[in-house]
Amino acid sequence: MQEYKGVRYMDLGNGELKVVWPSGVSSVIKSTIEDLKKEVDKVSG
């Protein structure tokens, strides 16, 4: 897995990412890596 600002992610293909937040909460989401990074920037302020 790769990491951006403490948030780990893995590109599963087909437009899906597995995201693991620092607490360990994880989910598979529909997103691009770029969009995820933008959202992480928003959440982290």
Partner 1 sequence: MTIKFIKNADTVSHTWAGQSIAPAAYYQIQAVEMVSWSTNAQLLADIGAGLAVVARSDDGTTDMGISDGIDWLKDADPSPRDTDGSPIQRNKYTKTGWHYEPRSLDFTTGVYKSLYNRKHDGNTIADGTDYGDATLKFYTSAGDELTFQETGHESETEEQFQTRLDSDCVKTIMAWQPTHDMDIIGGILMIKDAPTADTYMWTIVAPDIPENLGGSVPHVAGGWNLAYFNSKDKIQVNGRGSKTVVYDPVYNSNKFGTIIKHAAGTNVGVQMVYEFFKG
Q: Which chain residues interact with partner 1 by CB under 8 A?
A: 5-7, 19-31, 36, 39-40, 43-44
Which alpha helices (DSSP H) does the chain contain, by range? 33-44
Minimum CB separation of residue 35 from partner 1 in Å reads 9
The nearest distance, CB 18 to partner 1, in angstroms, is: 8
State which residue, 11 or 20, has the beta carbon closest to partner 1. Answer: 20
Beta-carbon contacts of residue 30 (< 8 Å; ≥ 6 apart):
15, 16, 17
Smallest distance from the beta carbon of 13 to partner 1, in angstroms? 17
4 SS3 class = strand
